[in-house]
Amino acid sequence: MVRDARYLGMASRMAAEMGATFVKTYYCENFEEVTNICPSPVVIAGGKKIEEKDALQMSKNAIDKGAVGVDMGRNIFQSDSPIGMIKAVRSIVHENASVDEAFEIYKSGPKGL
């Protein structure tokens, strides 16, 4: 199955109609179609490890297109500054920070765990 708005939207809606309190799905082009069709809050999965600024951009795009949160694993734990990355993603989700502002937060975090 292709990861596009049509299929992710249908799968998300089915999960919501079956009683899901919230739905975790992948980010895709036209993500607003997914969040518009799903009656439950939508959280994006972080997916494979990508560059930190790209992960922050994906987070910002998802929030701007209707997601209520971000569930990231390897994009945080495999970062050279996991604490900075957590704070950066938090600033996007909870404080509506720009990608550039969030990237500065990430860069100011301590390196390593």
Longest dimension (CA), the chain: 43
Q: In this structure, are residues 81 and 110 in contact, taking their beta carbons and an 8 Å threshold?
A: yes
Q: Is 60 among the residues known to form the active site?
A: no
Among 24, 49, 53, 87, which one carries the catalytic annotation?
Answer: 24
Of 47, 52, 44, 50, whose CA–CA distance to 87 is shortest?
52
DSSP 36-77: HH-SS-EEEE--S---HHHHHHHHHHHHHTT--EEE-SHHHH
- Please identify every residue annotated as catalytic: 24
